[in-house]
Amino acid sequence: MTDERNGPRDPHRPGQDDETRRIARESMIARQKLIEAMIDNNMRQLKYESARGGAEIERAWIVREISRHVEDDALPERLAEIDQRLERLDEDHLRMVAEREWLNKALLEFDSEAEANHAARKGRLA
């Protein structure tokens, strides 16, 4: 006995032509690319957090050494380099956050549109 609520189990259902299948496949691929971009963004976020944490540790060590009046002329230069690295990291982080927000919004819009299209197709077949 087959469940006919979703139509026949035949992959070539009436009402689903080649164009509809092609559009559905392209939609699936586009959604997958959005998800892959989100995964990449997450990976870069983790790398940022690690790099930022390392730079903060380096900075704290140098500040401690300077406060101890260690006579090393290279320390202030290293401190300036670390501060510049932290600024670059923070700028990259802002771009990652903006990208993540765009990806989240795009995925929500994509899923909403797909749900609306699915409901419209379901209504036509009823």
pLDDT tens for each residue of 6-45 = 555 555 555 567 888 888 888 889 999 999 999 999 999 9
Q: Looking up tokens 């990291």, which residue turns up?
A: 89
pLDDT digits 0-9 by tens, 82-124: 999 999 999 999 999 999 999 999 999 888 887 877 777 666 6
Q: What 8-state DSSP symbol labels residue 7?
A: -
Rounded Cα distance between 126 and 123, Å, is 5
Six token digits for residue 75: 């320390």
Least confident of 53-57, 62-66, 71-75: 71-75
The whole-number pLDDT of residue 39 equals: 97
Decide if pLDDT at 1 tops 50. Answer: no
- HEC states along 32-49? HHHHHHHHHHHHHHHHHH
